[in-house]
Amino acid sequence: MLTLTSASSALTLFPECKTQRRRFSISAAADDKFPSFLPKQMEEIKDPFARKLATRIERLPVNVSFSEKSIMSSCVKPLIQSNQNPVVLLHSFDSSCLEWRYTFPLLEEAGLETWAIDILGWGFSNLERIKSCDVASKREHFYQLWKSYIKRPMTLVGPSLGAAVAVDFAVNHPEAVENLVLIDASVYAEGTGNLAKLPRAVAYAGVSILKSFPLRLYTTFLAFKGVSFDTGLDWVNIGKLHCLYPWWEDATVSFMISGGYNVSRQIDQVMQKTLIIWGEDDQIISNKLAVRLHCELPNSNIRQIPDCGHLPHVEKPDSAARLILEFMQNHSCQKKAQLAPTEEVVY
């Protein structure tokens, strides 16, 4: 059963962040004003947290080398600025920033400067003129967005395949990443495997199945533990909103035939302090791989969330937010201790 508790206890973790605590409204409103670029089916979503976060999605122009024009890139920007470096939330495979609908408000109410970013090829960016959505394109796009708007080293959070995106980015742009949080990380898959060898026509047929309602309903109930049928239906509709764009199939096929993410050889190159979070009852990725990842990452801690499936930030947002906050607090304290001048003792 999904729980979302008050973040009042977490507020004490960052007393230096001078921001007035705002109550995050959870009441569904028929007059929610969604951005005009969102699919009209957003109006049919029942989840009040998804509706609320959707009102804050915006598109920012991002210049990249593989497009003559700026890519209007979707994200949720922070409402506050703090003295702490920002936390930046990625999403899982073929998803969007709405995946963070429950955990985002908890992090923000705790005083964190919080971003939720749509990875190129997924989410709600305008990809009408984009032909390439391979790993290199995704990395360059994210880097240019970070360089243009975020501009500070970040705590980068990646769930599932988003963890592979985060590892790849941290290794290639270490100056942009201060810490990593990897949630039920999909970092040992060998890219898209044999799917990369499919003829393009067959790849398009496979992608059309990927967005089918029965398949997404099945994966939803596989990913989460104890979700009601009605909730599962709404979560499926939230998860497939971005698939309604006319460019979604092209972007997904581009990623599929490019080979996808294969970051297993990059893991030992990650130098950033890393928190590994894992749902104890993950039915998609074995928690044995969590132990392996912990052993292979040179500077990592691991925490499991009991009675939780593949995406803790959706299923157990209070637990996920608390672990992220504690991790950032501990890192902040360590930094201050290292920077504090030592007193010279004179005899």
According to DSSP, the residues that pair with 300 across neighbouring strands are 274
* 52: Cα separation from own chain's centroid: 18
On whether the CB atoms of residues 50 and 57 are closer than 8 A, the answer is no
With a CB cutoff of 8 Å and minimum separation 6, the contacts of 221 are: 227, 232
Residue 331 among the catalytic residues: no
Q: Which helix (H) or strand (E) holds 317?
A: helix 317-339
Catalytic residue among 82, 282, 300, 331: 282
- Taking 3-state DSSP, the helix, strand and coil percentages for the chain, each rounded to the nearest 5, stand at 45, 15, 40
How would you classify the pairing of strands 177-183 and 57-62? unpaired
On whether the CB atoms of residues 118 and 88 are closer than 8 A, the answer is no
Catalytic residue among 91, 141, 242, 310: 310
| DSSP three-state, residue 287 | helix
Number of Cβ atoms within 10 Å of the Cβ of 82? 18
- Put the strands of the sheet holding 57-62 in their side by side order: 57-62, 71-76, 114-117, 87-89, 154-159, 177-183, 273-279, 300-305
* End-to-end Cα, the chain, rounded Å: 63
Task: Say how far apart CA 45 and CA 38 lie, in whole Å.
Answer: 12
On whether the CB atoms of residues 323 and 277 are closer than 8 A, the answer is yes
Residue 94 among the catalytic residues: no
Task: Say how far apart CA 65 and CA 87 lie, in whole Å.
Answer: 26
Residue 310 among the catalytic residues: yes
Catalytic residue among 96, 137, 160, 186: 160
Q: Which residues are catalytic?
A: 160, 282, 310
